[in-house]
Structure 1
Amino acid sequence: MPAPRVSIQSEPFDAAAEIGRFEAELSGRAGAVVTFSGLCRDEGGRLTALELEHYPGMAEEEIGRVVEEAAARWPLLAVRVIHRHGRIAPGEGIVLVVTASGHRIAAFEAASFLMDYLKTRAPFWKREHLADGTTGGWVEATAADDAAAGRWAGAQR
């Protein structure tokens, strides 16, 4: 697998353009490309934005390490991860994960593994900005997020 591309950026990304470039670089080698695009929700009108903080350099390194773990578990041909930081409005993309493999199951499982990691262990901190003009608390991973991530513990494919 070529070196995975991991980007941590404040700027919005164009998911369709990123996926198009990713697929073009595969030159017909893949049988499956799986994408996940995570968006900021307004939580029923309660939020005006999420603010994401990270440690520059550390986040890229840690995500790269987990991408390498995914590549050791599944026969991946390529991986692309984009994660934003800064203030993100509802409807804007927060994260894009794209995986490619010869077959769909590996691409689906690797993308799911990567998202479970990003939701629970990636070095990002999220704070809510509320519609009433106040700043909310820091958002933790939920029990459901932890349970989803737990299914990969010790499971080698």
Structure 2
Amino acid sequence: MHKPAFDTLLSVSYYKLPYQHWLQRWKFSHDLAAGDLLTQQLAAVVAQYQQQGGKLPDAILYVPMHRAKQRSRGFNPAEILAQQVAKQLKLPLLTVLYRPHQQQAQVGLSRKQRQRNLRKAFALSSQQPLPANVALVDDVVTTGATANTLCQLLRRHGVKHISLWTVAVTLFD
């Protein structure tokens, strides 16, 4: 990841076995038990972070899916993870991010292709001021292109501190 636009990263694991397997089972085979396991794992890491005095956000946001893709898949993993974390921390879950256009799937794209694919990919559905400190939840961070794009949008709308919370991040050589 080059020049992350977020301030802190909290992750359960690198994107490797067994997390890679469980994430793929959840997202592509609708294995709800795998999803429950991953949600519990992220909740445990967030609880540990909180117990160790980690700075909590004012609100939780999540990486949105385009409506058509979410209808096709049946759920948004990032939204499910964010709902659990928001409930656990008793923080508001803001559903203000959306995808106005359907982009090509990011899977299999290079870093440059991902960045190009994400131009104008996200928007805010509300003109209400955003909290200064938020956590952005996603299931997997691969190149960081999605997270960086969303963080840039959030910063343009007044967010000062962004924590990225995820189940897994890709390990770079």
Into which bin does the TM-score normalised by the smaller protein fall? under 0.3
Structure having the larger proportion of residues in strand? 1
Normalised to the residue count of structure 1, the TM-score between the two structures is: 0.27
Looking at CA atoms only, which structure, 1 or 2, has the larger radius of gyration? 1
Structure having the larger proportion of residues in helix? 2
